[in-house]
Amino acid sequence: MFEDLRGYLSYLEEKGQLLRVQEEVDPKFEIAAGIRKTSDVAGPALLFEKVKGFPGWRVLGGLFATRKLIALGLGIPENQLLEQYLRLEEKRIPPEIVKSAPVKEICWKGDQVDLRRLPLVIHSEKDCGAYITIGVQIGKDPDTGYRNVSIHRMLLLGKDRLSLWAPVDHHLGRMILKAEEKGRGLEVATAIGVDPAIIIGSQAKVPWGVDEFYVAGGLRGAPVKLVPCETIDVDAPATAEMVIEGVTVPGERVADGPYGEYPGCYSEAKQAPVMKVTAITMRQNPIYQTALTGMPVTENHTLIEYANAAVVYREARKIVPEVKAVHVTPGGTFRHHVVVSIHKRHDSEARNLILGLLALGIGLKQVTVVDDDIDIYDPVDVEWALSTRMQPDRDIIVVPNLACSTLDPSAPKPRTSAGWGIDATAPLGERERFEKVKVPGVEKVKYV
Ligand SMILES: Cc1cc2nc3c(=O)[nH]c(=O)nc-3n(C[C@H](O)[C@H](O)[C@H](O)COP(=O)(O)O)c2cc1C
Ligand SMILES: [Mn+2]
């Protein structure tokens, strides 16, 4: 596996999956425009080598713009991603603490801290400012000390202040609130420019109390190396390009937004916690990494696809043992809509499945269940099942008012959604009436 981001970038370059952009780009919109385009044409990751106003800095974007890049990052063939991810996510290798680290080559403390010297990017047209969008946050539960690793955007507020958008349905958000209840801030390290397994592992939907660095270790097949921070009692990846150390300010909130979000719409200004930065450590000639979100598909979507598919698959199998496949769909933002194919042996199994998956609260709004003769990756086949095996008055379930981790702009209240499920499976005992028409011998035809 890759020692660090730089090792991974060399590998991508060999594979023709990294493009060095020599043209000068403005951090306002121009970097994001490049990432948008490469995401839309399923192109390579981009390393911008000339950034207006930031001589000497390089900015990396679109590192996970496509599923192909996710597959390369994990060293898994693209057509086996879900099955291999399911296996690796459970491996859990503990991290290792080291004493010295490349990320300590440069250290800004106290008055030297100045976030405005970093090439932070403004992404979408109506964004309210420059955001750090792919910083990996490390925090510790104030009660147990258990570590959590996740990604939360941060708005640049000034020299040493950032917002930290971590709502309560995410573990870091809960930790911030727990610390506030004790009248304290939460110490948080934000690592930027880490190896792909750490970024992908940070998205694993593992329960509260599970350290995602263990998951990242499993994904990379070797321990993640961590080094103690300078000003806070947190350990951060030793080979990161940079680590921003800070403490949240208890009770303080700041308007964060509008910001072009993963549903493909702007989120309105929210009240987000504030972080005071206490130190920034870096490698020599650091690479700053940014990520785009917005209309699917971007790296924000590809990065959550397998984590979501894995949790849905595991839950679905508890309810219906014979689940054939699950597909969180791109149009559903890899989050709002899942199609599941099952081999049912009781006529109501699909209904239990719908309720069980909607109850997860991970952002699912729509669950479509089909039989195992339907190719769930083919939207035409799925729509055919809806057209021929489903009666809306009988086969649709609507559940109002669920707690749901969503930024869906149609939601009636924040983090709340109705859910609906469609049972598009044919009734048992009447299979012939629903059988697909077939012409014998198609596979023998060689002339077309
Ligand atoms: C590029 C990227 C940006 C993200 N930005 C945010 C964010 O700003 N706020 C947020 O709550 N989650 C964000 N997420 C999703 C969380 O990192 C993700 O749900 C994570 O698994 C939460 O960890 P937890 O289960 O430990 O709470 C982002 C994910 C990615 C890939
Ligand atoms: Mn967690």
For ligand 1, say whether the CB of 150 is within 6 Å of any of its atoms.
Answer: yes
Query: Which of 303, 115, 167, 148 minimizes the C-alpha distance to 236?
Result: 148
Q: Which residue has the tokens 């955001």?
A: 131
What does the DSSP 8-state code read for residue 143? T
Q: Which residue has the tokens 């044409």?
A: 41
* Closest Cα to atom 30 of ligand 1: 300
* Closest Cα to atom 18 of ligand 1: 203
Cα 310 from Cα 82, distance rounded (Å): 7
* Closest Cα to atom 22 of ligand 1: 150
> Consecutive 10-residue runs of the chain (448 residues): their mean pLDDT?
96 98 98 98 98 97 98 96 96 97 97 98 98 98 98 98 95 98 98 98 97 98 98 98 98 97 96 98 98 98 97 98 97 97 97 98 97 97 98 98 95 95 96 96 97
The CA 433 to ligand 1 mean position distance, Å, reads: 45
Query: Which of 147, 163, 146, 256 minimizes the C-alpha distance to 202?
Result: 147
119 and 242 Cβ atoms separated by less than 8 Å: no
* Closest Cα to atom 26 of ligand 1: 171
Cα 246 from Cα 115, distance rounded (Å): 12
The CA 176 to ligand 1 mean position distance, Å, reads: 15
**Looking at the CA of 174, which ligand is closest?**
1
For ligand 1, say whether the CB of 148 is within 6 Å of any of its atoms.
Answer: yes
The CA 330 to ligand 1 mean position distance, Å, reads: 18
Query: Which of 318, 304, 385, 411 minimizes the C-alpha distance to 357?
Result: 318
The CA 134 to ligand 1 mean position distance, Å, reads: 9
Q: Write the CB contacts of 298 (distance below 8 Å, at least 6 apart in sequence).
A: 35, 36, 39, 65, 262, 291, 292
* Closest Cα to atom 12 of ligand 1: 152
Which domains occur in the chain, in start order? Answer: 300-433 (3.40.1670.10)
For ligand 1, say whether the CB of 335 is within 6 Å of any of its atoms.
Answer: no
* pLDDT of amino acid 447: 97
The CA 54 to ligand 2 mean position distance, Å, reads: 34
Cα 5 from Cα 14, distance rounded (Å): 14
For ligand 1, say whether the CB of 171 is within 6 Å of any of its atoms.
Answer: yes
341-400, pLDDT tens digit by residue?
999 999 999 999 999 999 999 999 999 999 999 999 999 999 999 999 999 999 999 999
Q: Which two tokens stand for residue 183?
A: 């009248």
The CA 265 to ligand 2 mean position distance, Å, reads: 26
Q: Which residue has the tokens 């023709």?
A: 16
* Closest Cα to atom 5 of ligand 1: 152
Cα 288 from Cα 299, distance rounded (Å): 16
* Closest Cα to atom 7 of ligand 1: 152
The CA 292 to ligand 1 mean position distance, Å, reads: 13
Alpha carbon distances (Å) from 2 to 75, 219, 233, 354, 412:
10, 11, 27, 39, 44
* Closest Cα to atom 6 of ligand 1: 152
For ligand 1, say whether the CB of 137 is within 6 Å of any of its atoms.
Answer: no
Nearest ligand 1 atom to the CA of 204 is 21
* pLDDT of amino acid 1: 84
Exposed, middle or buried by CB within 10 Å (0-12, 13-18, 19+), for 363? buried
19 and 44 Cβ atoms separated by less than 8 Å: yes
Query: Which of 290, 309, 265, 27 minimizes the C-alpha distance to 151?
Result: 290
Query: Which of 135, 361, 121, 138 minimizes the C-alpha distance to 259?
Result: 121
Exposed, middle or buried by CB within 10 Å (0-12, 13-18, 19+), for 92? middle
